[in-house]
Amino acid sequence: MIRSILVISLMVVAATASAETRVPQSQAEIGLGFAPVVRKAAPAVVNIYAKIIREGRTNSLFSDPFFQDFFGRGFGEPRQRIQNSLGSGVVLSEDGYVVSNYHVVGTATEIRVVTTDRREYSAKVVLGDKESDIAILRLEEAGELPFLHLRDSDHVEVGELALAIGNPFGVGQTVSSGIISGLARTGTATGNARGYFIQTDAAINPGNSGGALIDVNGDLIGINTSILTRSGGSNGIGFAIPANLVAEFLRQARAGNESFVSPWAGMAGQHMSADIAGSLGLVIPMGVVVSDLHALSPLAEAGLRVGDVVTHVDGDEVNSPAEMKFRMVVAGVGGKSVLTRLRGEERADIEVALIRAPETPAANETTLGEDTALPGLTVSGVNPAVIVRLGLKLSQTGVVVVDPGQYGARAGLRAGDVLEVINGGKIDVPEDVVQVLTDPGRRVQVQIERGGRTISLRFRM
């Protein structure tokens, strides 16, 4: 009996010491279950309670000056309501940095974090990004907290055992087990083709968002973010944000960044289809086809051209624009990446600088004053930084609406609208908008481009 216990103890030590993730090799290992791993990892997974203030909906008639004058200025004003958000988070350092999902805490006015030993901390978001759905929190007056080590998620393989730890439905910390069932999932989880996810069949439910997906060594593989479901519950298809992307967010948070900075490629690309591969003489469809390049693109400066195919970034295969973007984001602004390019039968490795989106030419952001037809309207010239900020097409030029303001919104303008013509005058720079709307007459006609369509807006002064 003593010999059996000794053998099992030695096996536990060996399994813990090894960095290799593997399937249990004996009945004795299987009998241990996941208890040692959970005991190690669970204290670093926290429950998050957040309060979010949202504006209630109101009828558009209530903003009409006639009704406000008739019933009083407070008539029909939207009422604020408090919405409670429940989620999970993972402690990344002993001094209180925590990662969660942006949709859990990104717009919260009050955040409370509760550890497994029932300690409570106030927290604030120090860095968040809605597109990536990641938020880094800093706990106030925290120290010597248990935390999880970030694993290199590029080495995660399909078929590995995985555990999801979180607070589903608010019932308390819960652990579910499964395997890694897919890698490099793009767009499926969010519907916007911008994500890059690890897929698992470990049960993930509402409240698990922001929780940990760990391997059998207790290291963090990713942050649970969403599920694919028709019923609202787990159907065995869950998605986690890879640990390598979390590591870059943590690095920028520690550096004091107030917003997440991604490298700007200045490129539009498309998936490689069988037809495109055939036309390019490729036997196997692979890589990303460069379909457009901005004049200031660092890829263009490095020698890439429209029609080239990018197959690898820093030695890792890429087969979608989202994968390519992910690889460059993980490498980080200020560094360099090596892109493998195919051009006909020529194959070459090209070093590309990872830069911020340039602020040139100057945007000259301008807000219209009270002496204009649309006071509060904020417009800007277009440059690469503005293109990224507002999600404009790569080739966009001209003047864009940054904030319509109260009167601009009532006239039908939205952020991202490109102003082309106002009262017959062509708009080339922000100063043109100020000049035309300072004394426009009784009627104003605005021609805009929105989502590739030309729209005409008319209103009376």
Q: How far apart are CA 164 and CA 278, in angstroms?
A: 42
Our answer to whether residue 149 is catalytic in this structure is no
Our answer to whether residue 133 is catalytic in this structure is yes
274-288 CB burial, b ≥16 within 10 A, e <16: eeebeebebeeeebb
Q: Classify the C-alpha dihedral 272-277-282-284 as positive or negative.
A: positive
Of residues 133, 201, 219, 417, which has the active-site annotation? 133
Of residues 85, 176, 209, 337, which has the active-site annotation? 209
Q: Give pairs for 400-405: CB < 8 Å, separation 24+.
A: 401/377, 401/448, 402/365, 402/378, 403/367, 403/376, 403/377, 403/378, 404/374, 404/377, 405/367, 405/368, 405/374, 405/375, 405/376, 405/377, 405/378
| φ/ψ of residue 216, rounded to 5 | -75, -5
Of residues 63, 93, 95, 103, which has the active-site annotation? 103
Q: How far apart are CA 135 and CA 89, in angstroms?
A: 10
3-class state of residue 29 by DSSP: helix
Give residues with Cβ within 8 angstroms of 206, minimum separation 6: 86, 168, 169, 232
Our answer to whether residue 271 is catalytic in this structure is no
Q: Please, which residues bridge with residue 60 across strands?
A: none
The CA angle 158-163-168, to the nearest 5 degrees, is 125
Q: Which residues are catalytic?
A: 103, 133, 209
